[in-house]
Amino acid sequence: MNRDKWDVLIVGTGILECIVAAGLSCRGFSVLHIDPASSYGTYWNTIKLDNLNKWLTSNRDLDDHMFDTSPFSNKFGWVNSSHSNSNDLLNKFCIDLLPKMIFSRSPLVDILLSCKITHYLEFQGVNYLSFYNIDDDFKDMFTTKKLSRDEVSEEGSLHTKYISPIPNKFINIPFSKKTIFASTDLTLYEKRSLMKLFKGMSHLLDSSAGKQKKDLDIRNDPFRSPAVLANSIENINELDLDLVVNSWPLFQKKWKLTNKTLDMVRFCIALNFDTETNINWQMDVVNPIGKLIRSLNQHGCSGTPFLFPCYGVCDIPQAFSRFAAVNGAVYRLHTHIENIKKYNDGWEVDIRNYEMEEAITIKSKLLIGSPRLLSQIYDGPKQENIRRIFRMFVITCKPLIIQEETFQEDILFASIKINQTKNPTDNHVEVVNIMQCGSSSGCCPKGSYIINICKIMSKTESAEEVTMQFERLLRYFFNNSNKVQDNYIDCIIYKGGYIYNREFQDPIFTSDGIIYTADPFIDLSSFFILDGDIQNAMTILQHALNYLQLDNKEILTPITFKKEELIETLSIKEQCNDMIFQKFREVFE
């Protein structure tokens, strides 16, 4: 690094920061990108389990300078010593600090295709999307009550036997006509109503696109032709599907759904855990269901809307870092800031690498980074209403969610509804999300499983209460799915967890050349979805361009993330139009 003046200094190599670095570097700005840690990812890091265990079982930081102020609390880790080779196994597992999956058709996928960096990444389709509802009869399982009964043995002695409730199996969400009518989990009435819902929502999406004259790129989406869209508008008029509903009860009545299919749609497809019965038709129904429908059968992933990044989420920021480096960005890991001060129209920053005897001073027009990593100058408030996620991961030798034998090594996602929250101060239904990763994820060896369990905590819940709830959940499913009685702990190799506290909800933009990035995204939908972080990254990039170029008129979109991509796309469309006009001339002549 032989220069001391930069357009932008970015601190932290999380997904947000790396996307911004990629967007700025490909537009010709000089970018210096540093990270106090010795690896990429920051809060989106993927870490070997033996290193993660050292952090979970001690008071030290995960890495020197990794977090100035950590967003993680109440951490714990436990190795099952009954497994003779458990310590050796720890080196074979890679754990995401914040596990994520993406929609197959989403802004992130558009950006990856625009930058042509998909060869740096490998994705695996999420094979099953499932739903489970803990019946009212078994709600006591999640309280301190013990389900038991007295029995008399053959010898005549009285003893107490634990009663393990027989669970309903996980209901797999079907997404095609074939899988809907082949499902053994649904009645014929439920199959018909679910099929009508999917078909109606597809027509609604297509007609909306036709009326707004957008998303008509036949080259990239040949099945959404003007003829198809016109037919969809006609179907909407015939079926009276333009009727907008403003509550879940009306939604259920409109589509003639049973309670079971409503829960499937609400908690697994729309991913809406809000207790409010009133809904925003566009935001709570059309957008999430439309995003899922558009993501089906994309990129060779049949029957699934989701993709999981193989080998861990940290490969995504690394891919953008490689792209940025190719375009001139300079990267320095294990480099931290010692001092920051204002100068003229920029910032003077003292940075130091662990190999340096003394700090060096660089100048930058714009600073971008988390308030935690720019703590020397951040004096703003933290978010008052901190949203908390309790995240537990369990390493097992048997699957928690059992599906067809051929899919046991794949990736499964499930939503488990426990109950409706009774606390009036909380505004979400108590739903636990589980992502089960087999060896196809690239994060664990064959025959082992990583069970990621996450839940949005209520304002009054403690870590101990949620830990006990998760323990009962594990016992409940292992005892029944694997026919293991009272020794389910033998299935577990390792378990650990922590609370993630989102203290900085939105990016913060200052007038003097600092952009503070937000913490990883959380809302009242699945914690596992990555889309909110990508939206924040695009917002930060747009503000950075506007600050660096006062006359900037470029409006960023995921498809035009790489600037020259816009020119290339327009050129291709012009060629297609010329070809079509030529064909018309030949016909009329």
Residue 147 pLDDT > 60, yes or no?
no
Neighbours of 581 (CB within 10 A): 10
Q: Is residue 395, in this structure, part of any structural domain at all?
A: yes
The larger pLDDT score, comparing residue 429 to residue 35, is at: 35
CATH number, domain with residue 156: 3.30.519
Highest mean pLDDT among 247-261, 477-491, 568-582: 247-261
**Per-residue pLDDT tens over the stretch 530-560:** 888 999 999 999 999 999 987 777 788 888 8
**Residue pair 124/410 in contact by the 8 Å Cβ criterion:** yes
Residue 578 pLDDT > 80, yes or no?
no
What distance in Å separates the CA atoms of residue 498 and residue 73, rounded to the nearest whole number?
Answer: 6
- Does 229 lie in the same domain as 208? yes
Structure tokens at 173: 């969400």
pLDDT at 391: 93
Of 48, 55, 77, 45, the C-alpha closest to 394 is: 77
**Residue pair 490/422 in contact by the 8 Å Cβ criterion:** no
Highest mean pLDDT among 198-202, 317-321, 418-422, 518-522: 317-321
- The chain-wide mean pLDDT, for the chain, equals 79
Helix (H) or strand (E) run with residue 177 in it: helix 177-182
Q: Is the pTM of this model over 0.95?
A: no
**Residue pair 534/107 in contact by the 8 Å Cβ criterion:** yes
- Does 420 lie in the same domain as 304? yes
**Per-residue pLDDT tens over the stretch 236-283:** 455 555 557 788 888 888 889 999 999 999 888 888 877 666 788 888
Highest mean pLDDT among 135-149, 284-298, 566-580: 284-298
Residue 35: pLDDT band (50, 70, 90) is very high
- Does 61 lie in the same domain as 162? no
pLDDT at 419: 67
pLDDT at 451: 95
Structure tokens at 490: 């033998």
Of 14, 94, 99, the C-alpha closest to 51 is: 94
Write b or e for each residue in 261-293: b if 16 or more Cβ atoms lie within 10 A of its Cβ, otherwise e. bbbbbbbbbbbbbbeeeebeeeebbbebbbbbb
Mean pLDDT of 306-334: 95
Residue 46 pLDDT > 50, yes or no?
yes
- Does 464 lie in the same domain as 450? yes
Neighbours of 66 (CB within 10 A): 19
Query: In three state form, how does the secondary structure of 267-286 look?
Result: HHHCCCCECCCECCHHHHHH
Structure tokens at 487: 């020794």
| HSE-up of residue 520 (Cα within 13 Å, Cβ side) | 26
- Does 268 lie in the same domain as 356? no
Residue 155: pLDDT band (50, 70, 90) is very low
Residue corresponding to tokens 């802004």 = 107
Domain finish residue from 267, 295, 323? 295
Q: Is residue 102, in this structure, part of any structural domain at all?
A: no
The larger pLDDT score, comparing residue 281 to residue 487, is at: 281
pLDDT at 223: 40
Q: Is residue 156, in this structure, part of any structural domain at all?
A: yes
Residue 170: pLDDT band (50, 70, 90) is confident
The larger pLDDT score, comparing residue 172 to residue 487, is at: 172
Q: Is residue 555, in this structure, part of any structural domain at all?
A: no
pLDDT at 284: 82
Of 316, 353, 360, the C-alpha closest to 331 is: 353
Burial of 446 (0-12, 13-18, 19+ CB in 10 A): exposed
Mean pLDDT of 377-383: 79
Q: Indicate the number of domains in the chain.
A: 3
Structure tokens at 27: 């537009």
- Does 252 lie in the same domain as 165? no
Please give the angle made by the CA atoms of 13, 17 and 18, to the nearest 5 degrees: 70
Question: DSSP letter at 212?
Answer: H
CATH number, domain with residue 42: 3.50.50.60
What distance in Å separates the CA atoms of residue 312 and residue 95, rounded to the nearest whole number?
Answer: 7
What distance in Å separates the CA atoms of residue 318 and residue 559, rounded to the nearest whole number?
Answer: 20
- As a whole number of angstroms, the longest Cα–Cα distance in the chain is 101
Rg (CA), the chain: 26
- Least-confidence region, from 47-61, 157-171, 187-201, 451-465: 157-171
The larger pLDDT score, comparing residue 514 to residue 457, is at: 514
Residue 431: pLDDT band (50, 70, 90) is confident
**Residue pair 420/481 in contact by the 8 Å Cβ criterion:** no
Helices (H), 435-562: 463-481, 531-548
Q: Is residue 115, in this structure, part of any structural domain at all?
A: no
Q: Which residues pair with 498 in a beta bridge?
A: 391
CA end-to-end distance (rounded Å), the chain: 65
CATH number, domain with residue 261: 1.10.405
Helix (H) or strand (E) run with residue 364 in it: strand 360-369
Q: Is residue 426, in this structure, part of any structural domain at all?
A: yes
pLDDT at 296: 85
Residue 127: pLDDT band (50, 70, 90) is confident
Residue 151 pLDDT > 90, yes or no?
no
Residue 458: pLDDT band (50, 70, 90) is confident
What distance in Å separates the CA atoms of residue 126 and residue 123, rounded to the nearest whole number?
Answer: 9
**Residue pair 94/47 in contact by the 8 Å Cβ criterion:** yes
- Does 404 lie in the same domain as 375? no
Residue 568: pLDDT band (50, 70, 90) is very low
- Does 217 lie in the same domain as 142? no
Strands 492-502 and 387-396: antiparallel
Residue 227 pLDDT > 50, yes or no?
no
List the domain range (segments joined by +) for residue 408.
Answer: 72-96+123-172+300-309+387-502
Residue 157 pLDDT > 50, yes or no?
no
What distance in Å separates the CA atoms of residue 457 and residue 2, rounded to the nearest whole number?
Answer: 48
Collapsed DSSP state (helix, strand, coil) of residue 160: strand
Q: Is residue 356, in this structure, part of any structural domain at all?
A: yes
- Does 460 lie in the same domain as 331? no
What distance in Å separates the CA atoms of residue 365 and residue 7, rounded to the nearest whole number?
Answer: 5
- Least-confidence region, from 213-227, 308-322, 507-521: 213-227
Residue 424: pLDDT band (50, 70, 90) is low
The string of DSSP letters for 274-323 reads: B--SB--IIIIIIHHHHHHHHTTT-TT-TT-SEEEETT-TTHHHHHHHHH
Domain finish residue from 295, 325, 351? 295
**Residue pair 273/248 in contact by the 8 Å Cβ criterion:** no
Of 97, 98, 73, 293, the C-alpha closest to 176 is: 293
Q: Is residue 392, in this structure, part of any structural domain at all?
A: yes
Question: DSSP letter at 384?
Answer: S
- Work out whether the CA dihedral 236, 242, 246, 252 comes out positive or negative: negative
Helix (H) or strand (E) run with residue 9 in it: strand 5-11
**Per-residue pLDDT tens over the stretch 133-143:** 876 445 555 55
Residue 17 pLDDT > 70, yes or no?
yes
> Could you give the dihedral angle defined by the CA atoms of residues 564, 569, 575 and 579, in that order, rounded to the nearest 10 degrees?
170
Question: DSSP letter at 176?
Answer: S
Domain finish residue from 444, 469, 502? 502
- Does 247 lie in the same domain as 138? no
The larger pLDDT score, comparing residue 21 to residue 219, is at: 21
- Does 282 lie in the same domain as 429? no
Collapsed DSSP state (helix, strand, coil) of residue 362: strand
Amino acid at 21: A
Residue 425 pLDDT > 90, yes or no?
no
Structure tokens at 146: 């013990």
- Does 512 lie in the same domain as 365? yes
